[in-house]
Amino acid sequence: MSRDGGSQSDYEILEREATESRTLDLLADRPVAPRSQRGQDMTATRSRTVGCRALPLFVGVAVLLATGCASTSNTRAQQRALVAPEWKVGDEWAYRWEEPTGGGTYVASVVRKETLDGVEHFVVKSGVERETYHRASDLATSMEKVSGGIDTRLVPPRTNYQWPLAVGKTWELTFRQERPMARETSDLVWVWHVEKEETVSVPAGTFNTLKIVCRDKRTNKPIYEAWHSPDVKQFVRVREYLQPGTRERELIAFKLR
């Protein structure tokens, strides 16, 4: 299946085979978050691995406020949640995804740092040939490449987070989405709102999260909802509202450096 819901290309079939193998390798490691990240053993993972394709890493990292009784460890977790987490080369997250036309798994890996327009970025690889550029200072999404060519460029970079995060916080961004391969350009205005704290269970474990809702300001229609955890430095669940239907992704495994 293509990114826009069409039939599979030879490229996507190759991506599926390669990423399925990478997902199995990650799951075989039974990754757990370091004790310094959670204060307790976190993640014995499980997964139903089906076919795979690379999906854009729609959203980069995340934050939430720890809940529960007051304690020294909880206070440290809350303080950590207020700032952008630091990714490291070698961090990996495996997800399963489902939508009306199919489903699968993929692995997103921080593969390197690179300077783009004079600014340091993390490069996250998904599948065989898709790379997403996230500004290192705040993890805003600047660009996506496929097979070395620019698939999407966001001007200014899309700020999926505005640090520090807290329940009730709202921000908006007017930006241009350029897709040179498709010869498409869109001027967009998106609004984000940190709706609430929520405990979420996914195949990778149970996590305290902040739920963030993103809407199109002009139409007020939802674009996506994301549940982010500082313990994994990433979202653990995301629900995207696409033209063909709703796509959901859940974390099935992760490995932090």
Q: Which pLDDT score is estimated for 253?
A: 98
Q: Which pLDDT score is estimated for 57?
A: 42
Sign of the dihedral through C-alpha 112, 33, 57, 225? negative
How do strand 245-255 and strand 234-242 relate by DSSP bridges?
A: antiparallel
**CATH classification of the domain holding 230:** 2.40.360
Q: Which pLDDT score is estimated for 22?
A: 53
Q: Which pLDDT score is estimated for 54?
A: 41
Is 223 within the bounds of a domain? yes
Q: Which pLDDT score is estimated for 70?
A: 34
Is 3 within the bounds of a domain? no
Is 165 within the bounds of a domain? yes
Average pLDDT value for the chain: 78
Is 4 within the bounds of a domain? no
Q: Which pLDDT score is estimated for 128?
A: 83
Q: What total number of domains does the chain contain?
A: 1
* pLDDT tens digits for range 6-19: 334 343 433 444 44
pTM: 0.73
Helix/strand/coil for 18 = helix
Give the residues of the chain that fall short of pLDDT 50: 1-21, 23-24, 28-82
Question: Which structure tokens are listed for 14?
Answer: 């190759």
Buried/exposed 187-200: b ≥16 CB within 10 Å, e otherwise: eeebbbbbeeeeeb
Q: Which pLDDT score is estimated for 83?
A: 75
Is 1 within the bounds of a domain? no
Please give the residue range of the domain that contains residue 111. 10-255
